[in-house]
Structure 1
Amino acid sequence: MNYTLHQLQIFLKISEKESITKASEELHLTQPAVSIQLKNFQDQFPIPLTEVIGRKLYITDFGKEIAIAAQKIVDEVNQISYKTKAYQGHLSGVLKISVVSTGKYIIPYFLSDFMKQHEGVDLVLDVTNKQQVINSLEKNNVDFSLVSVLPKHLQIEKTKLMENQLYLVGNTSEKFTNKKYQKSIFSELPLIYREPGSGTRHTMETYIDKNDLPVRKKMELTSNEAVKQAVIAGLGYSIMPLIGIRNDLEAGRLQIIPVQGFPIKSIWNLIWLKNKKFSLVAEAFLKYVEEQKDEIIKDKFNLFNP
């Protein structure tokens, strides 16, 4: 067999995404290039690696076994690179972090300088909903997770990153002239929710239940960006983290509706499993965050006050 490391990496991405289109996007390759490499890789096996049913690509059972073996090969090759850099005195390895979707607005600022300082470190950053973030942490698939709602069923340790503020927001087509509205305003405004499992939705529902608010649920959407665009389009209102809407407030696409008891406040925490044995990379990143977080917050997040 004469398969290449490049073919293994492409097949792994196709296996992960179950889509040539999505794999090509993530690999920054054209679809024809990915298809050709998949065909060349397939030609070396007498058993199909993939099958297409309708217009959907599936990985066969044999293909899944090959993907597992391919991952081990790629990991071993990466280890050679990391060990070489380590012998040269460079910090090297993989840093794995899972982040709830709204956390994508803050985690890059805590990673940027660290990654620049340590070019031998590779980053795997998974941005998804709260449930998937906790699942990856529970399975010990990541070093850290970034959440605003702490899991109750796991033994964890944490370091506080920064405060998370949530406001009631709408587009700018309607004027809200009162200095402060009563909570009863919720009975008049159709609300757009995040999907079940979202940390933002959990915080939103906890506040609504605690205050026994009458609400009009308009719809639910599966990402913070989708909710934001729906609010901008005038489909309803929502309770959203300030960190994700700063640019839209400054540009006049959204407005904060001043309501008694707002903002709702929670804390962004970087968490990890209790008694976890850190790699040198994970240990260095945690040390960096704890030493630099105050300066990062002051420099990157104190420029906007609603």
Structure 2
Amino acid sequence: MNYTLHQLMVFLKITQTKSITKAAGELHLTQPAVSIQLKNFQDQFDIPLTEVIGRKLYVTEFGHEVARSAEKILNEVHAITYKTLAHKGQLTGKLKISIVSTAKYVMPYFLTDFMHEHPGIDLLMDVTNKAKVIESLENNEVDFSLVSVLPEKLQIENVELMQNRLYLVGNGERKFEKTVYDNHIFEELPLIYRENGSGTRYTMEKFIAQNNIPVRKKMELTSNEAVKQAVIAGLGYSIMPLIGIKNELNLSSLQIIPVKGFPIKSVWNLIWLKNKNFSPVAMAYLTSIKQEKSNIIREKFSWFDSF
């Protein structure tokens, strides 16, 4: 056998994503390149590693065994790299973070300088909905999570990063003449919701219930980007975080509809399990965030107050 570390990495990613297309995307390779690597790797085994049934890829039992071994090998290789960098005096290791989908507009700015300062650190960041973010935190699979709604049943500690504001938005076609509308405007505007488990949906529904707002639910979509595109296309209106619609507002493809009681305000919180034993990397990041968050907000989010 003469398989390479690259083939092990490609095969492991395929087993994790259950898809050659998704594996190619996450590895920043073309789909044909991943398929070739899988074929070359498979050719070294007499037992199938994967099988395709009805155009869907499945990993065989033997494939899962090989994947577990591949993961161990790659972890050892990473460990050698970390030790080499550590001997050079560099901070090394993995920083693992899970964030809610809307936080993808926030979190990178609170990581960039730290990652540039410590090139020996590998970042693993999972972008998903609130329910899965809290699950990964509860299972101690990550160092930190970024949420706008604090979990009620977990003992956590937190650092407040910046304010989150949600507005009622629509596309640019209809003209809204009033300076401020009352809640009756919702009777004529069909609303597009995020899916259950979304922090944005939780905040939106809590506000609607507290203010006894009559709403017309039009549809439910599973990502902030999907909601945004549906609103731009004229399929309805939605309550959306300002952080994710800056460019669309500047281009006038979206508009904020002025309604009494808006914006809905919450806070982006970096959270972690109480009494968590931090790795040196996680501790360094937390120290950096506490020291630099005000500078980051001032430099990267000064536009926030112009809406």
- TM-score after normalising by structure 1: 0.98
Query: Which amino acid letter does the alignment assign opposite residue 44 of structure 1?
Result: Q
What residue number does 2:256 align with?
Answer: 256
SS at match of 1:197: coil
Q: Distance in 2 between matches of 1:61 and 1:185?
A: 57
Bigger mean CA offset, 57-66 vs 5-14 = 57-66
Which ranges in structure 1 are unaligned for 5 or more consecutive residues?
A: none
Deviation at 1:178, TM superposition (A): 0.7
Q: Distance in 2 between matches of 1:86 and 1:275?
A: 26
Q: How far apart, CA to CA, are the structure 2 residues paired with 1:141 and 1:56? A: 28
Matches of 1:32 and 1:208 in 2, distance apart?
Answer: 49
Distance 2:32 2:102 in 1: 34
Does residue 95 (structure 1) correspond to residue 95 (structure 2)? The answer is yes
Aligned to 2:65: 65
Q: Tell me how far apart the structure 2 counterparts of residues 218 and 293 of structure 1 sit (CA, whole Å).
A: 38
The answer for unaligned runs of 5 or more in structure 2 is none
1:86 is the counterpart of 2:57: no
**Structure 1, 196-205 or 2-11: larger mean CA deviation:** 2-11
Aligned residues: 306
Could you give the per-residue CA deviations for residues 21-63 of structure 1, whole angstroms, max 9, x where no partner exists? 2212222222222122112222232322111001111111221
Counterpart in the other structure of 1:268:
268
Question: What amino acid is aligned across from residue 277 of structure 1 in structure 2?
Answer: N
Query: After superposition, what is the alpha-carbon deviation per residue over 1:184-233, rounded to whole angstroms, capped at 9, x for unaligned?
Result: 11111000000000000000000011111110000010100010011011
Match of 1:247 in 2: 247
The 3-state SS of whatever aligns with 1:180 is: coil
Tell me what 2:20 maps to: 20
Distance across 1 between alignment mates of 2:154 and 2:44: 45
**Within 1, Cα distance between the matches of 2:186 and 2:61?**
51
> Any idea what SS the aligned residue of 1:207 has?
helix
Distance in structure 2 (CA, Å) of the matches to 1:169 and 1:296: 27
SS at match of 1:62: helix
Q: Where does residue 48 of structure 1 map in the other structure?
A: 48
Q: Deviations over 1:53-106 (max 9, x none)?
A: 011111112212221221111111101100110111001111111110000001
Query: Residue deviations 1:90-124, cap 9 Å, x none?
Result: 01111111110000001010001111111111111
The CA RMSD measured in Å over matched residues stands at 1.0
Q: Secondary structure at the match of 1:151?
A: coil
Alignment match, 1:122:
122
CA distance in 2, matches of 1:35, 1:109: 35
**Helix, strand or coil at the partner of 1:45:** coil
CA distance in 1, matches of 2:284, 2:139: 22
- Aligned twin of 2:280: 280
Other structure's SS at 1:152 match:
coil
SS in 2 for 1:165: strand
The answer for the alignment partner of 2:136 in structure 1 is 136
Alpha-carbon deviation of 1:244?
Answer: 0.4
